[in-house]
C-alpha cells in the first residue's frame, strides 16, 4: 500500500486513510493509492465494510494545483469516484476540517458521510472559472435538492456541519472534535449496516413544479454575464434533471473541460495563485487551506 494511502483491517472494517499533508490533495499518487486500497479491501473476505478517513487537518481540500496545466494521469478523479460509489461493500466517509472541490466530490461518492462538528464543505470551482468536474453537479442535487445545490455551486462558499446535516449532505455528526477511532468506527458501523447506497441512484428533489423551467430562468438570468462557469453549471444541472446519470455525468465533464480551456478560467487561476505567491513567506493559517488546491 502507498504511504499516502493506507489500508488497515480493524475487525470487519477496512480502514482506508489518506495521509498527504498539508491538505490531502488528490494527486495522482493519492488517487492511485485509493484505487489500490479499495480493490484490496473489496477482495478481502474478512472485510465487510469500509471507512474512508484522512489524517492531518482536513479530509481533503481538492485537486493538486501542482498538476494544473499538465497532461492528466490515470486514474482520473472521476474514475476513482466511480470505483468508490460502485463498491459492493458499504463505504462510509469520516469528514473533518475542510472537504472542498474534488474532496467533497469524493465524499459524496461514498455511501454515507459522518462529520466532526467543526467541519466545512464546499464546491469553490466557480471562483476559478470552473464547474465541478467529478460529479459534483450530479451528486449534490441528489443529496440536498436542486435549489440548494445550485445555490452552493454558484456561490462557491462553504457551509458548516450543522447546515450540512440540515440539508442532508451528511448523515450524522460526532459529539465532539478529534473523535477517538473507536467512536468513529462505532458510528460508521451503524450506517454501514444499512448496506450499499449509491448516491447516483437517488432521486433529485425540487420544490419547483417544473424544475427545468426554473433552471431555464436561472440560466437566462446569467446570459448577460461574461462569466462562463455559472452558465455551464446551470446547464450541468439541467442535464442532471433531464438525462440518465451516466449521460449527464459525461456532459458535466464536457462543460468542465470547456471552462478549463476558457481564457476567463486562466485569468481567475492566476488571480487565485498570485496572493499565494506574493505571501509565500507569511505563516500559513487555516484560511489558507483552499489555496493549496481546488476542483
Active site residues: 105, 125
CA–CA distances in Å: residue 226 to residues 84, 129, 232, 264: 36, 11, 12, 9
How many CB atoms are closer than 10 A to CB 173?
A: 17
Quickly tell me which residue has 487555516 as its cell.
286
CA 205 – CA 241 distance, rounded (Å):
9
Q: What's the grid cell of residue 122?
A: 464546499
CA 127 – CA 123 distance, rounded (Å):
9
Helix residue ranges per DSSP H, 48-145: 77-85, 102-109, 136-144
Residue 141: name the closest of 242, 289, 2 by CA.
242
- What crossing angle do the helices spanning 245-260 and 263-278 adopt, rounded to 10°? 70
Amino acid at each position: 500500500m502507498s504511504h499516502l494511502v493506507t489500508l488497515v483491517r480493524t475487525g470487519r472494517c477496512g480502514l482506508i486513510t489518506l495521509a498527504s499533508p498539508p491538505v490531502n490533495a488528490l494527486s495522482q499518487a493519492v488517487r492511485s493509492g485509493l484505487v489500490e486500497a479499495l480493490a484490496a479491501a473489496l477482495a478481502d473476505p474478512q472485510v465487510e465494510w469500509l471507512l474512508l478517513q484522512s489524517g492531518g487537518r482536513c479530509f481533503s481540500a481538492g485537486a493538486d494545483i501542482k498538476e494544473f496545466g499538465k497532461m492528466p494521469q490515470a486514474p482520473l478523479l472521476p474514475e476513482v469516484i466511480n470505483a468508490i460509489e460502485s463498491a459492493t461493500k458499504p463505504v462510509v466517509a469520516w469528514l473533518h476540517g475542510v472537504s472542498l472541490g474534488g474532496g467533497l466530490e469524493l465524499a459524496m461518492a461514498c455511501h454515507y458521510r459522518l462529520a466532526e462538528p467543526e467541519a466545512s464543505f464546499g464546491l469553490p470551482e466557480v471562483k476559478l472559472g470552473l464547474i465541478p468536474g467529478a460529479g459534483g453537479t450530479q451528486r449534490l442535487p441528489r443529496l440536498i435538492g436542486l435549489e440548494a445545490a445550485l445555490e452552493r455551486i454558484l456561490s462557491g462558499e462553504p457551509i458548516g456541519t450543522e447546515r450540512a446535516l440540515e440539508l442532508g449532505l451528511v448523515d450524522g455528526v460526532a459529539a465532539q472534535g478529534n473523535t477517538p477511532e473507536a467512536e468513529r468506527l462505532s458510528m460508521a458501523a451503524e450506517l454501514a449496516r444499512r448496506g450499499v447506497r449509491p448516491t447516483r441512484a437517488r432521486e433529485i428533489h425540487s420544490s419547483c413544479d417544473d424544475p427545468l423551467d426554473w433552471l431555464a430562468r436561472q440560466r437566462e438570468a446569467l446570459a448577460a454575464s461574461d462569466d462562463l462557469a455559472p452558465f455551464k453549471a446551470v446547464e450541468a444541472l439541467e442535464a442532471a434533471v433531464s438525462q440518465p446519470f451516466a449521460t449527464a455525468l459525461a456532459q458535466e465533464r464536457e462543460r468542465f473541460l470547456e471552462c478549463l480551456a476558457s481564457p476567463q478560467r486562466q485569468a481567475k487561476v492566476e488571480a487565485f495563485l498570485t496572493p499565494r505567491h506574493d505571501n509565500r513567506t507569511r505563516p500559513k493559517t487555516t484560511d489558507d487551506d483552499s489555496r493549496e488546491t481546488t476542483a
